[in-house]
Amino acid sequence: MILTRFARVSKSTLVYLSKKDFTNRLATLCMKYMLSKNKIPPKITFTKKLLEGKPVELSYNFSSGIAFQMKFTEKSLEGKNPKEFFEKLISTSDRDFLKIDEERRWKIEYAPNGRSLCKKCKRQIREKEIRLGELQREKNLLVQQFYHFKCFDWSKQKGILIHGINDLSELDQQKVKKKIKPKAE
Ligand SMILES: [Zn+2]
């Protein structure tokens, strides 16, 4: 289990923030960036389709596999329509926000609920069962697809370390490492 704490530096001391406060600060910084530069900030991905009358959700992805979900509403965008604002921003941005680097393509975790379906067998992934996540591009979105441990095509992996592996139990980590590395070395 890895514990992460968030803090900001204030007059050379660390002020600890909750994840929520940290996310709010990030959202403010992103807003400033978007309004001044007219493009999508680095490490940002869209996780849901842009819908009329709904807040727009963005994810800020640290390379360590930690992600922050930010919501932008008409209020936080100073009265601008969220869907229109982001559609315009997407059209003037380079397409960097759609790039999937190998180090954040994969993740592994215990399913936090039983709501996901396996991409391969189309069956439910039960709560607390190990699931593999793969980031895939869908139009202007990066979406996470999930697989059962046994349904995942491990040959895709080619020795790349998967995010989240250190949060698994020792036994499960061994199970995964056996799959990643070929037996005969
Ligand atoms: Zn499956």
> How far, in Å, is the centroid of ligand 1 from the Cα of 115?
13
Asked if 21 and 68 sit in the same domain, the reply is: yes
CA 163 to centroid of ligand 1, rounded, Å: 20
34 with 52, same domain: the answer is yes
Q: How far apart are CA 167 and CA 2, in angstroms?
A: 7
Query: Domain holding 142: CATH number?
Result: 3.30.1740.10
CA of 173 to the centre of ligand 1 (A): 20
**pLDDT digit string (tens) for 2-15?**
556 667 777 777 77
Distance between Cα 120 and ligand 1 center (Å): 5
**How many structural domains does the chain have?**
2
pLDDT in tens, 167-176: 999 999 999 8
Place of tokens 């592996």: 165
Indicate the residue among 49, 82, 98 that finishes a domain.
98
Q: Check whether 44 has a pLDDT greater than 90.
A: no
Same domain? For 10 and 88 the reply is yes
Tell me which residue range forms the domain holding 113: 102-180
Q: What is the pTM of this model?
A: 0.62
**Strand extents, DSSP E, the chain:** 6-10, 13-17, 44-46, 56-61, 67-72, 106-110, 130-138, 141-148
Residue 111 in domain: yes
Q: Do residues 53 and 120 share a domain?
A: no
SS (H, E, C) 53-103: CCCEEEEEECCCCCEEEEEECCCCCCCCCHHHHHHHHHHHCCHHHHCCCHH
Backbone angles phi, psi at 150, to 5 degrees: -75, -20
Instruction: Calculate ∠ Cα 100-64-178, nearest 5°.
Output: 85
* Position 107, amino acid: K
Write the pLDDT tens digit of every residue in 128-168.
999 999 888 877 777 889 999 999 988 877 666 678 888 99
Burial status of residue 53 (CB atoms within 10 A of its CB: 0-12, 13-18, 19 or more): exposed
In the reported structure, the alpha carbon of residue 147 is separated from the centroid of ligand 1 by a whole-number distance in angstroms of 5
Q: Is 152 exposed, middle or buried (0-12, 13-18, 19+ CB in 10 A)?
A: buried
pLDDT for residue 93: 78
Gap between the Cα atoms of 76 and 57, Å rounded:
12
Shared domain for 70 and 90, answered yes or no, is yes
Q: What span, in angstroms and rounded, lies between the C-alpha atoms of 125 and 150? A: 11
Within a domain: 185: no
Q: Are residues 55 and 107 in the same domain?
A: no
- Tell the residue number behind the tokens 């056996």, with chain if given: 178
Q: Residue 31 domain-assigned?
A: yes
